[in-house]
Structure 1
Amino acid sequence: MTEKHSLVLQTDFGLDDGAVSAMYGVAKTVSPNLDIYDLTHNIPQYDIWTASYRLYQTVKYWPAGTVFVSVVDPGVGSNRKSIAVKTKTGQFIITPDNGTITHIAKHVGIESVREINEATDRLPGSEKSNTFHGRDVYVYNGAKLATDNAHFDNFTNELDPKQIRQLNIFDPQNHGDEVSGTIDVLDIRYGSVWTNIPFSFFEKDNVQYGDYFDVVISCRGKAVFEKKIKFVKTFADVNLGEPLIYINSLVNIGIALNQQSFADAFDLGIGNDWKVDLKKIETKGE
């Protein structure tokens, strides 16, 4: 008897129409007792970078065998490939080959990649539909894979993981009392900035709670924020509205305002254009 696994969906579809519900329906038609969950359906439209990051933020916390279907697909119906990916931690991801796997490849690792044949591996009767692969190809195969992980072997065209499309990621830098990186993503609900600078940089440099940093955030070389900020354990360690440096839930360095949106206050964005520099200027608390 095969063991069913959870199916987790991520899209940029929103919930204002029936697209996500149709995906649920296809999955339930494949396997009526399948457990289906939502990662998010509020990825900004066409934003492959954010889709990639949200998978990295989430995938490793689910059991091996879990199947993720991620559909942020501005090239739907074009010659971009559809792929099924097995991570080194045992989860599966079905998605377009458009860069969505970037952060998983870098931070989790890929064990195997298979191409999905869009002409044959699809919902029966959907052959003339070219613009809703989330329903017709991805969730259809995702449901089969969640029902039985052995379905992965039915995708016989194996691809080199190094050949799948990846977005550029700039690695963080550590120069002793100065570290730098980029803004990976924004905390959507609260407006905190999540950088790609790992807390291990601070550990290596013996940074302590209460130390201060000169913080410069720039976009394409132009500074948009400059201020001295304190590194703290919790948001409550500074007054309301004051900036702080903290360790986020992925154990990277975050920057925030206590109970206000840092991103909105300074009109910040994400990606490689947004650089963050932190230089330690004090080693003792106030």
Structure 2
Amino acid sequence: MTPPPYLSITTDFGAAYTGICAGVAARLAPAARVQVLSDEVSKYAVVEGALLLEQALPHLPVGVHLAVVDPGVGTPRHPIAVRTGRGDFLVGPDNGLLVPAAEALGGVAEARILENPELRLPAVSSTFHGRDVFAPAAAHLANGVPLGEFGTALRPRPLEIPEPVLGKGELGTVVLYPDDFGSLVLGATPRDLAAAFGPLEHGTELEFAGIRVCWAATFGDVPEGEPLLFADSSGRLALGVNLGSAATRFGLSAGRTVTLRVIRES
């Protein structure tokens, strides 16, 4: 038996507006299995949403993945759908949100602007494209409508993340977002850490802005309430506090720069 088409939804809308999008998708594609992956992406946080999709979608069934974190809704930015090398379709705004996940799913094979009025709701609000444009497109793709029927081909805009900066004895990187536990996910990886300082054993102490942190494998490797630098489940570096919030402790938010240095005891 052929399994039903799978359709996931990720937004920064909260439950009610995301539920409306799920209802539109379910009404137009009644055979589809619709799952809300998350409605709790931080408001307007395109980078956070993009990296959640990059991390999550490879673990989900091949299907249609609707994602809306869209501070530019109603502006000339394009609504798009992307076909990936794995065979998934990603639907959302052309603001970089979809590209990291597409690359994790085998790359962008094809992308189209969602401009066919027959594949939208009859009335399109200027502020709720999730309901009126994206959810209908996702449903029609789940129903088997060919991507080429949606509109003009284009190359999606990449997600812009500042590259880490390797200086003399230091690693500069940006805070990408705080996760739900208050850990600060950074725009650098353990490979960048090794490039800056050479191989580091767990237990090595580093500092940023006068704050000491331990390079550790997991939270329980440091005492309760103590800070650590670790590799999170996405493979990026992160600052955390064992049974606490690094975002609250350090007063850092997305976009702030952190410069790490190894503490060399004399």
Q: What interval of TM-score do these two structures reach, taking the shorter chain for normalisation? A: 0.7 to 0.9
**2:86 equivalent to 1:84:** no
Unaligned runs of 5+ in 2: none
| 8 A contact 1:53–1:184 mirrored in 2 | no
Q: What percent of counterpart residues are identical?
A: 31
Q: What residue is the counterpart of 2:201 in the other structure?
A: 208
**2:190 equivalent to 1:199:** yes
The one-character-per-residue Cα deviations of 1:170-205 (angstroms, maximum 9, x if unpaired) are 1123457432211111112x1111112111234552
Q: What residue is the counterpart of 1:266 in the other structure?
A: 250
**2:135 equivalent to 1:135:** no
Q: CA deviation at 1:121?
A: 2.0
**2:226 equivalent to 1:242:** yes
Letter in 1 for 2:149: N
**2:153 equivalent to 1:144:** no
> 2:124, 2:85 → 1: CA distance?
36
Q: What residue is the counterpart of 2:261 in the other structure?
A: 279
Q: CA deviation at 1:118?
A: 5.3
Q: What residue is the counterpart of 2:175 in the other structure?
A: 183
What TM-score, normalized by structure 1, do the two folds share?
0.81
Q: CA deviation at 1:70?
A: 1.3
> 2:124, 2:99 → 1: CA distance?
31
**2:65 equivalent to 1:49:** no
Letter in 2 for 1:160: R
> 1:33, 1:89 → 2: CA distance?
22
Q: CA deviation at 1:229?
A: 1.6
Number of matched pairs = 262
RMSD between superposed Cα atoms in Å: 2.6
**2:108 equivalent to 1:117:** no
Cα gap change, 1:31 to 1:102, in 2 (>3 Å): closer
SS state of the match for residue 153, structure 2? strand
Unaligned runs of 5+ in 1: 217-225
More strand by share: 1
**2:161 equivalent to 1:169:** yes
SS state of the match for residue 118, structure 2? coil
> 2:98, 2:231 → 1: CA distance?
25
Letter in 1 for 2:200: V
**2:211 equivalent to 1:232:** no
What TM-score, normalized by structure 2, do the two folds share?
0.86
Q: What residue is the counterpart of 2:29 in the other structure?
A: 31
> 1:172, 1:89 → 2: CA distance?
29
